[in-house]
Amino acid sequence: MKSRNLKTIHDLIVTNYQKHDLGNGRFLHTFQPSTTDTIYQFEANAEDVLVQGERYNIGFTEDNGIKTIDTSCLSKASVLDKDFSYQYARNMSKQKHEENRGKNDSRVKHSESDGYYWGRKYAWREFGLALPREAFEIYLIECVGHPMINCQVITEGYPQGEDSVAFQDDGLEDAIDALIQSAVIVNNGPYFKSPLYFDGRRKFTIKGVPAITDKK
């Protein structure tokens, strides 16, 4: 499972790619994105991992100003990478967390007091942007039976609420994590299969970065 603190950057052009011998056959690989002085690094063997001038998506952590790439979340920008797409979507959702939570609190009405519940749209915006909304809801309802309750969604300007369902917050993030981590690409994408999604009998898509949006 990827770190929930992983940051992501899309479509960096690699320049000044260097390798520094650490001994014992390990090397510190460093590079700078085109047009910036920022340095990213990771440990690997002596062989080249990156191609000078190529565009990459990267996931990284930062500690005391040192930006270290998670090589399992490193891919060419032209390649669909489920882990990078998921981390990118998670970061997008984190940036809009307060907005999503505020809309959920004001528009999703129910009487349940056992835990926090997300209306289906806001649950998708908070946890599932790497997936099509339909696949997100089908997975939770039909495949894993995630706890949910009946609710009403109040839309601004409309006096009557709309009957809907809301998903329990507890365990929701872990459920989506499990789906992404178990997903296996089919014929180079964009379709994937997972034993958690109808026992692998049906396919679903994971979006490439350019297609990730919080609009349905």
Give the tens place of pLDDT for each residue, 64-101. 989 999 988 888 888 888 999 999 999 999 999 999 99
Pair of tokens at residue 85: 């797409």
Q: Examine residue 12 and state whether it is found in any structural domain, yes or no.
A: yes
* Whole-number Å distance between alpha carbons of 31 and 147: 46
* Sole residue written with tokens 């990213």: 40
* Whole-number Å distance between alpha carbons of 134 and 125: 12
Question: Are residues 63 and 139 located together in one domain of the fold?
Answer: no
Q: Which of 57, 81, 65, 67 is nearest to 8 (CA)?
A: 57
Mark out the alpha helices in the chain (DSSP H runs): 82-95, 97-107, 120-127, 133-138, 172-182
Question: Are residues 60 and 33 located together in one domain of the fold?
Answer: yes
Q: How confident is the model at residue 215 (pLDDT cuts 50, 70, 90)?
A: confident
Of 76, 97, 129, the one marking the end of a domain is 76
Does the structure show a pLDDT above 80 at 157?
Answer: no
Q: How far apart are the first and last CA of the chain?
A: 27
Q: How confident is the model at residue 35 (pLDDT cuts 50, 70, 90)?
A: confident
Q: Examine residue 216 and state whether it is found in any structural domain, yes or no.
A: no
Of 76, 100, 135, the one marking the end of a domain is 76
Q: How confident is the model at residue 142 (pLDDT cuts 50, 70, 90)?
A: very high
